[in-house]
Amino acid sequence: MNVLVVGGGGREHALCWKIAQSPLVKQLHCAPGNAGIAELAQLWPVQAEDVAGIVALARKLEAGLVVVGPEAPLCAGLVDALTAAGIKAFGPSQKAAAIEGDKAFARELCRRHRIPGPQFWTFDDLRVALSFLDNREDAPLVVKAAGLAAGKGVVVCGDNDEARVAVRACLEHHRFGEAGRRIVMEECLEGPEVSMIVLTDSRTIVPLEPCQDHKRVFDGDQGPNTGGMGAYSPVPSVRGRILAQIENQILLPTVHAMNREGRPFSGFLYAGLMLTPLGPRVLEFNCRLGDPETQPLLMRMKSDLVPLLLATAEGKLESCEAPAWDPGSAVCVMATSAGYPGEYGKGVPIRGLESVERSAQLQVFHSGTVRRATETVTSGGRVLATCALGKDAREARERAYAAMAKIEFAGMHYRKDIASR
Ligand code: AMP
Ligand code: GLY
């Protein structure tokens, strides 16, 4: 079977790495891909959001399965378009992807179906939002653009003044364009965070292992939020009763709720959770695998991923065995361009990649890289990650950092404290 992976980040590199190992795959293609993926798959210069272009490419390649990685094409209806063209596609429909694409919808879904989350309020009018703040006691609040903002639309505010600035950024200065025309304000929750991702065809759910990402740009969780500076799996505190609570109070009810609202969800459903003293609470849903969470998760997954993806796309997930996992730990450390998550340059040559010896225990997954003549150069804010497997978190972390020490590019930044708590 020919497989086409859509996207070009670290998540798609890890997906291609895993999919390429499957005996079911004849040819592996990726659009648009990146310099790392080029070593595993044939690349095609079609953007992930170009729905008509991807459908045409999938047809031309006679793809037996198209795996859509990022949220933007999912929210734009790529899976619907592929399905309508008779092409088997993995990922949620546009209606189901709204669980990520519209944070106001996701919050209201939780409220309607009693899925535990923070108190929240939605606004699309600047004056109404500001007067809400004027009449509210000073307290931490989270302000979110309701639409897709590439992981940058969430501001955790210490007090009402900070919240006013965040509200104005969306509703007055239109910093996130259409995505910020509606905002969600939320009670600020506290506690450790965990990401739980399940594979579901809307009837059966197959939970992946718990994992955790590091969202702030600097060590000690300082600085602004990013798309993710590193991740690890498993999360030792998340097992037993807590895991059962997460499944029974959040994951299963959410899949049911989507069915009941006529938006059956098929694909990877990602729940970002806060483990509060009162139990797990939903921070956000994503309609896809997390990046960088995918990297350590797939490194630990021992089973073939392709039968699971196929069964999900065909609505036959109940017939699959749950995947087997390496009992050890995997740690992923992300290197970013100077300035990220703000403005950053591109086209910076990357050195030392060839000196990292890849194995089942160690991989370099590219996020924002391109091949230029004889060099690999940066092309994004998050550039690449080293991801290592070890018998425990310490061994995995040491391996990932030893590999990162061999790589360099001007302005390179990475956190030194991933998985060290
Ligand atoms: P999101 O993209 O919605 O997950 O938000 C990004 C990050 O903001 C999360 O990983 C949390 O660290 C933080 N966050 C989001 N919502 C809340 C909340 N209600 N309370 C506290 N922190 C939050
Ligand atoms: N790492 C968080 C995300 O993929 O949204």
CATH of the domain at 153: 3.30.1490
| Residue finishing a domain among 134, 152, 181 | 181
Q: What is the reported pLDDT for 12? A: 98
Same structural domain for residues 141 and 204? no
Tell me if 107 is assigned to some domain. Answer: no
Same structural domain for residues 290 and 388? no
Same structural domain for residues 333 and 222? no
Residue with CA closest to ligand 1 atom 15: 283
The CATH number of whichever domain residue 283 belongs to comes to: 3.30.470.20
Same structural domain for residues 203 and 271? yes
CA atoms of 253 and 126, how far apart (whole Å): 34
Among 291, 297, 298, 418, the mutation site with the greatest number of ligand 2 atoms within 8 A of its Cβ is 291
- How does pLDDT run across 204-226, given as a tens digit for each residue? 999 999 999 999 999 999 998 88
Contact 63, 89 (CB under 8 A): no
- 360 DSSP 8-state letter: T
Same structural domain for residues 143 and 212? no
Tell me if 419 is assigned to some domain. Answer: no
CA atoms of 206 and 267, how far apart (whole Å): 11
Q: What is the reported pLDDT for 214? A: 93
Q: What is the reported pLDDT for 237? A: 87
What's the token pair of residue 75? 């929210």
Same structural domain for residues 286 and 202? yes
The CATH number of whichever domain residue 347 belongs to comes to: 3.90.600.10
Same structural domain for residues 253 and 146? no
Tell me if 263 is assigned to some domain. Answer: yes
CA atoms of 213 and 272, how far apart (whole Å): 10
Q: What is the reported pLDDT for 9? A: 96
Query: Ligand nearest 7 Cα, by number?
Result: 2
Tell me if 409 is assigned to some domain. Answer: no
Residue with CA closest to ligand 1 atom 6: 154
How many domains, in total, are found in the chain?
4
Amino acid at site 310:
L
Tell me if 112 is assigned to some domain. Answer: no
| Residue finishing a domain among 319, 340, 374 | 319
Query: Ligand nearest 285 Cα, by number?
Result: 1
CA–CA distances in Å: residue 297 to residues 320, 378, 383: 19, 25, 19
Please give the number of the atom of ligand 2 that sits closest to the Cα of 213.
1
* Structure-derived torsion over alpha carbons of residues 105, 111, 113, 115, reported in degrees to the nearest 10: 100
Query: How much distance in Å is there from the Cα of 119 to the middle of ligand 1?
Result: 13
Range of the domain at 347: 329-404
Query: How much distance in Å is there from the Cα of 61 to the middle of ligand 1?
Result: 40
Query: How much distance in Å is there from the Cα of 310 to the middle of ligand 2?
Result: 24
Residue with CA closest to ligand 1 atom 19: 188
Same structural domain for residues 17 and 77? yes
Pocket of ligand 1 (CB under 6 A): 118, 142, 144, 154, 156, 186, 188-189, 193, 215, 225, 272, 283-284
Q: What is the reported pLDDT for 181? A: 86
Query: How much distance in Å is there from the Cα of 228 to the middle of ligand 2?
Result: 6
Same structural domain for residues 20 and 70? yes
If one counts every other C-beta atom within 10 angstroms of the C-beta of residue 406, the result is 15
Tell me if 188 is assigned to some domain. Answer: no
Q: From first to last of its 421 residues, what are the pLDDT tens digits of the chain? A: 999 999 999 999 999 999 999 999 999 999 999 999 999 999 999 999 999 999 999 999 999 999 999 999 999 999 999 999 999 999 999 999 999 999 999 999 999 999 999 999 999 988 889 999 888 888 899 999 889 987 778 889 888 998 898 889 888 888 888 888 889 999 999 888 999 999 999 999 999 999 999 999 999 999 988 889 999 999 998 888 899 999 999 999 999 999 999 999 999 999 999 999 999 999 999 999 999 999 999 999 999 999 999 999 999 999 999 999 999 999 999 999 999 999 999 999 999 999 999 999 999 999 999 999 889 999 999 999 999 999 999 999 999 999 999 999 999 999 999 998 7
Please give the number of the atom of ligand 2 that sits closest to the Cα of 293.
1
Query: How much distance in Å is there from the Cα of 186 to the middle of ligand 1?
Result: 9
Beta strands in 247-406 (DSSP E): 267-276, 279-286, 329-336, 362-366, 369-372, 375-378, 382-390
Same structural domain for residues 272 and 169? no
Tell me if 71 is assigned to some domain. Answer: yes
Contacts of range 375-378, beta carbons closer than 8 Å, 24 or more positions apart: 375/349, 375/350, 376/35, 376/349, 376/350, 377/346, 377/347, 377/348, 377/349, 377/350, 378/337, 378/345, 378/346, 378/347, 378/348, 378/350, 378/409
| Residue finishing a domain among 69, 93, 117 | 93
The CATH number of whichever domain residue 40 belongs to comes to: 3.40.50.20
What's the token pair of residue 269? 């459903």
Query: How much distance in Å is there from the Cα of 284 to the middle of ligand 2?
Result: 10
CB of 151 sitting under 6 A from ligand 2:
yes
Q: What is the reported pLDDT for 365? A: 98
Same structural domain for residues 237 and 306? yes
- How does pLDDT run across 82-131, given as a tens digit for each residue? 999 999 999 999 999 999 999 999 999 999 999 999 999 999 988 889 99
Q: What is the reported pLDDT for 340? A: 94
CB of 293 sitting under 6 A from ligand 2:
yes
Same structural domain for residues 80 and 13? yes
Tell me if 110 is assigned to some domain. Answer: no
